[in-house]
Amino acid sequence: MHAELLNSLREHYSLHPIGFPCTHSGVELRVLERLFNDEEARMALHLSPSPETPDSLSAKLGQDAENLQKLLDGMAEKGLVLKSPPATTSVWSPSSPASTSSS
């Protein structure tokens, strides 16, 4: 994964309530590189801290909702996003990289 993408992802997560601060050693970048592939990292950059539906993400990104749902389902299986049980439709929100690094 490119350093620019890793740094963008770290910065994105550092804005979330739990945060993901920069370290002198760069260990946080190695954690992110191990957890995310490029496609997942790019998707995570578009997620807000508030839960979002496939349709809202589809409108925001101009991508097919079904494909986004498949990607997000895979990310949920890895613990990268949280998937809320569907009332009528599923919603996803970011998970803290710090909480998934111990798995």
**pLDDT, tens digit (0-9, with 9 covering 90-100), for 84-102:** 876 556 676 777 676 665 5
3-26 tens-digit pLDDT: 899 999 999 988 877 778 888 999
How many domains does the chain fold into? Answer: 1
Q: Is the pLDDT of residue 75 over 90?
A: yes
Angle ∠(26,100,39) on CA atoms, nearest 5: 75
Domain residue limits at 71: 3-100
Query: Once rounded to an integer, what is the mean pLDDT over residues 17-38?
Result: 90
Helix, strand, coil percentages, rounded to 5, for the chain: 55, 10, 40
What's the CATH code of the domain at 84?
Answer: 1.10.10.10
Q: pTM higher than 0.85, yes or no?
A: no
pLDDT of residue 64: 93
Q: 6 with 33: CB under 8 angstroms?
A: yes
